[in-house]
């Protein structure tokens, strides 16, 4: 019997067209734009000046504050300027523009593909290396990894959960990485286990990736402390709290962190990035991106440097189809519609999804018929239709009592609503308002 989380969940069409396609490398363009805010938390402070020479791996932005991550140059060349540039947030924010010259790497980086299994680091050394390399959660949330690996005082991690779920339809970046970099991911997991001082790790993989499960099981024979847990296909299983419930049958209380039930969750992509950072001294300068969509000619998984315009990746996949209605960064459920395709790849770009016009159009919103479908499928056990109404009428105290801040913004409610109501749009608005109110109360 396959495990899954207990409350709610949906099963949208999977449409994983690019599954099984091997990783292709994207050519480096003549100019890259590296945004200084690629993670949740405070944006970086630029440490380079106009005209300065940089190599691959040179620090561009220094992390300021606890929740922040360093940003390194993904190319070698000259800093053209530091200016505002449009990014996936939809706003213009500070970014470093670099004119590319050759492809010279910092000497400390081992850029070979050879596997390096041996390590001799303490927990602190590993976390420091992860911090220095600017690793963030690669699943798309981009939360700085070193923060997650530093549990608050008084808490103790028992088990490390590795997220190989990739529950978003269309996306196959993690899947491909799992197939091609299996050993590296396992070494990365061991490093993460060492970093949080646990002797047990469970990798959760959804059952639609049979080949990955088999390959991981095969490899896990040599790593007795790492277990593979196949999971029933169910969205949003990749959510931290849902995955903990599915794998450990433990429920994280409302408002608490996963560490409160002894779990630390990391993505497989993060595990690979940790391997590269610790064993190869390689900062996070490239990532795997899925480029796909119903009318895309060449579905692909590409390895792209940070800062490359999405336009180049789309061109690699055969260019924008004529039917294009929307270009989304990320998957169809949680991804974000983009205002332009000239924005750069960032640490959190897990996929580029091109949706045809017919499907991209939102349908006319109709009245709520109180069918309760959204209540049934909400994986956090919330009442989405009530939360939307409370936001519309700005009843913030009631919205807070109804735990609007628990919403993980998975979009299952909007997906399932037969009246096509923009439930999540409103809930997200209400959530940010309520969080603002709660912050001012704390101050």
Closer to another protein by CB, 88 or 189: give it: 88
Residues 375-404 that bind another protein (CB under 8 A): none
CA–CA gap between residue 190 and residue 330 (Å, rounded):
28
Interface residues for another protein in 286-315 (CB under 8 A)? Answer: none
Stretch that binds another protein, among 86-94, 159-167, 172-180, 395-403 (CB under 8 A): 86-94
**Helix or strand run (H / E) with residue 327:** strand 324-329
Size of the site for another protein (CB under 8 A): 19
Among 111, 117, 210, 362, binds another protein (CB under 8 A): 362
**Out of 2, 365, 371, 435, the residue judged to bind another protein by CB under 8 A:** 365
Q: Is 337 near another protein (CB under 8 A)?
A: yes
Beta-strand pair 201-206/159-164? parallel
Does the CA dihedral 429-431-433-439 come out positive or negative?
Answer: negative
Contact 432, 399 (CB under 8 A): no
CB closer to another protein out of 144 and 430: 430
357 in contact with another protein (CB under 8 A): no
| Span 91-110, contacts to another protein by CB under 8 A | 91-92
Cα–Cα distance, 72 to 35 (Å, whole number): 11
Which CB sits closer to another protein, 86 or 314? 86
**Cα–Cα nearest to 222, from 189, 244, 252:** 189
Residue 81 near another protein by CB under 8 A: no
Which secondary-structure segment (H or E) carries 45? strand 45-46
Strands 31-35 and 92-100: antiparallel
Q: Closest CB to another protein among 215 and 433?
A: 433
Helix, strand or coil for residue 193? Answer: helix
Residue 428 binds another protein (CB under 8 A) = yes
- HEC secondary structure over 88-142: CCCCEEEEEEEEECCCCECCCCCCCCCCCCCCCCCHHHHHHHHHHCCCECCCCCC
User: Candidates 60-68, 185-193, 257-265, 418-426 — which segment interacts with another protein by CB under 8 A?
Assistant: 418-426
Could you say whether residue 429 binds another protein (CB under 8 A)? yes
- Closer Cβ to another protein, 229 or 391, answer by number: 391
Q: Which residues of the chain form contacts with another protein (CB under 8 A)?
A: 84, 86, 89-92, 336-337, 339-340, 361-362, 365, 422, 425-426, 428-429, 432
């Amino acid at each position: 019997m396959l495990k899954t989380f207990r409350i709610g969940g949906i099963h949208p069409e999977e449409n994983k067209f690019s599954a099984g396609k091997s990783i292709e490398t994207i050519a480096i363009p003549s100019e890259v734009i590296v945004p200084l805010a690629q993670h949740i938390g405070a944006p970086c402070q630029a440490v380079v000046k106009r005209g300065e020479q940089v190599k691959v791996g040179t620090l561009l932005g220094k992390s300021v504050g606890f929740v922040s991550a360093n940003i390194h140059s993904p190319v070698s060349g000259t800093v053209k300027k530091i200016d505002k540039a449009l990014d996936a947030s939809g706003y213009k924010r500070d970014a470093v523009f670099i004119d590319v010259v050759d492809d010279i790497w910092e000497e400390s980086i081992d850029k070979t593909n050879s596997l390096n299994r041996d390590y001799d680091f303490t927990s602190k050394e590993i976390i420091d290396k992860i911090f220095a390399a600017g690793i963030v959660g690669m699943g798309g949330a981009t939360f700085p990894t070193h923060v997650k690996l530093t549990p608050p005082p008084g808490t103790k991690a028992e088990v490390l959960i590795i997220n190989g779920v990739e529950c978003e339809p269309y996306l196959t970046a993690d899947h491909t990485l799992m197939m091609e970099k299996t050993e590296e991911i396992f070494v990365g997991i061991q490093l993460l286990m060492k970093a949080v001082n646990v002797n047990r790790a469970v990798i959760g993989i959804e059952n639609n990736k049979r080949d990955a499960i088999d390959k991981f099981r095969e490899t896990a024979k040599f790593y007795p402390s790492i277990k593979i847990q196949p999971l029933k296909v169910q969205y949003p299983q990749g959510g931290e709290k849902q995955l903990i419930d599915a794998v450990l049958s433990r429920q994280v209380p409302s408002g608490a962190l996963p560490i409160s039930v002894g779990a630390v969750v990391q993505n497989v992509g993060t595990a690979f990035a940790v391997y590269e950072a610790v064993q190869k001294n390689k900062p996070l300068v490239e990532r795997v991106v899925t480029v796909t969509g119903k009318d895309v000619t060449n579905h692909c998984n590409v390895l792209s440097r940070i800062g490359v315009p999405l336009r180049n990746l789309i061109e690699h996949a055969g260019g924008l189809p004529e039917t294009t209605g929307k270009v989304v960064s990320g998957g169809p459920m949680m991804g974000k519609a983009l205002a332009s395709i000239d924005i750069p790849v960032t640490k959190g770009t897990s996929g580029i999804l091109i949706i045809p016009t017919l499907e991209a159009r939102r349908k006319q919103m109709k009245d709520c018929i109180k069918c309760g479908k959204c209540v049934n499928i909400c994986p956090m056990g919330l009442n989405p239709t009530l939360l939307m109404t409370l936001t519309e009428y700005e009843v913030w105290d009631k919205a807070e009592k109804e735990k609007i801040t628990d919403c993980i913004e998975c979009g299952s409610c909007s997906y399932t609503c037969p009246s096509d109501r923009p439930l999540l749009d409103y809930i997200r608005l209400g959530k940010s308002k309520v969080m603002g109110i709660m912050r001012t109360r704390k101050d």
